[in-house]
A = this chain, B = another copy of it.
Amino acid sequence: MHMDDRKFMILRTIIDDYISTAVPVGSRTISRKHGVGFSPATIRNEMSDLEELGYLAQPHTSAGRVPSAKAYRLYVDQLMRVHKLSELDMRRINDHLKMRVGEVEEVIRCAAQALSDVTNYTALVVAPHADSLRIKRVQLIPVTDGSALMIIVTSGGLVKDATVRVPEGVKSDLLYRISEMLTDQLGGLTLGEMRGRFALLFRDLKEHRRLLASVLDVMENRLREKPEEITVGGGSNLLAYPEYADIEKARTFLSVLESREKLYPLLRQAGSMEFSIRIGPENQLPELSDCSLVTAVYRVGTGSTGTLGILGPTRMDYGRVISVLDFMGKAISTLLPDSE
């Protein structure tokens, strides 16, 4: 036995239905649907086949059928239809973002809020990865005698900072001159690429070897490995779905959201593909085995990318989520152009 057009069609109808109702779907329901021209009995036979093929499961004998993870996989790969986003949705997203442009953190927070509001799922937004950001300016600001604040302004207007130890007695003027030189030498490079310039820098700044070493060390290590900020929006949204009627489940879900350590590898896994869909057990966190995560990248400036994600129940409305993510990704890129 193998899949044929009718099986595909029926499976899609079942999944569509289940996504919108969360109720195991029976043969009558499908048969009644517009466009399906078969009696419940026929559908039953097909459903039985689909179950054998591993696409459907029955919670218990006298219940309807529920799609399996395998079915969702097939669905997102071949079956589903991605509609264009409605005017209303686009407007809602734009309304959220219509504000002071350019402050990256602000935009990220709004994006998370917008994504969760529009989809009714949970949104995750990851700031652009440090490695891929282009340095626009480096500036050292004296804080105390012995420490300074290093500020790095990057493409897209993102600001990263870190404290660096400096030899005592270094004056503001010197820090400024060094800042100018660092900006000269490192400007335009990414944090990943800058290592190549170190030798040059050391030559030009022989007399301040110690200071320089400490500054470069912080850039190389502290700044780069600092995990990106993850902003969460609409964590409580999922509690409205019957999947989370059980408080214990809700609780474990929410505590995952509170733990950057768990969230980070999850988003990492998605890599830098334009879109990525992880269904249920496909994501590595057992706590999230009945969630799906859909991610998309957004671009800021030239070359640096961040991640947008939607986390929802496995039966989430994948088509819509993808449209929303796509639209949002573009909206952000427009909002955060390379401010050159």
Among B163, B172, B236, which residue has its beta carbon within 8 angstroms of that of A255?
A: B236
Whether A251 lies near B235 (C-beta < 8 A) is no
Within the assembled complex, what's the spacing in Å between the Cα atoms of A147 and B100? 14
Q: Which residue of B lies closest to A247 (CB)?
A: B239
Which of the candidate stretches A73-81, A90-98, A136-144, A190-198 sits at the interface with the other chain?
A136-144
Whether A254 lies near B233 (C-beta < 8 A) is no
Is the C-beta of A340 less than 8 angstroms from some C-beta in chain B? yes
Whether B159 lies near A161 (C-beta < 8 A) is yes
**B-chain residues with CB within 8 Å of residue A144 when the two chains form the complex:** 339-340
Within the assembled complex, what's the spacing in Å between the Cα atoms of A244 and B141? 49
Q: Which residue of B lies closest to A339 (CB)?
A: B144
Is the C-beta of A151 less than 8 angstroms from some C-beta in chain B? yes
Within the assembled complex, what's the spacing in Å between the Cα atoms of A181 and B95? 41
- Shortest C-beta distance, A111 to chain B (Å), equals 15
- Chain A, interface size category, equals 35 or more
Whether B244 lies near A258 (C-beta < 8 A) is no
Is the C-beta of A186 less than 8 angstroms from some C-beta in chain B? no
Is the C-beta of A102 less than 8 angstroms from some C-beta in chain B? yes
**B-chain residues with CB within 8 Å of residue A153 when the two chains form the complex:** 141, 143, 149
The 7 A-B pairs with the shortest beta carbon distances in the complex, nearest first, are: A236-B254, A239-B251, A236-B255, A139-B141, A144-B339, A236-B251, A176-B176
New contact pairs (20) apart from A103-B163, A233-B258, CB-CB < 8 Å: A137-B141, A139-B139, A139-B151, A141-B151, A143-B157, A143-B339, A144-B340, A149-B153, A157-B163, A172-B180, A176-B176, A235-B235, A235-B254, A236-B251, A236-B254, A236-B255, A240-B251, A244-B247, A247-B247, A247-B250
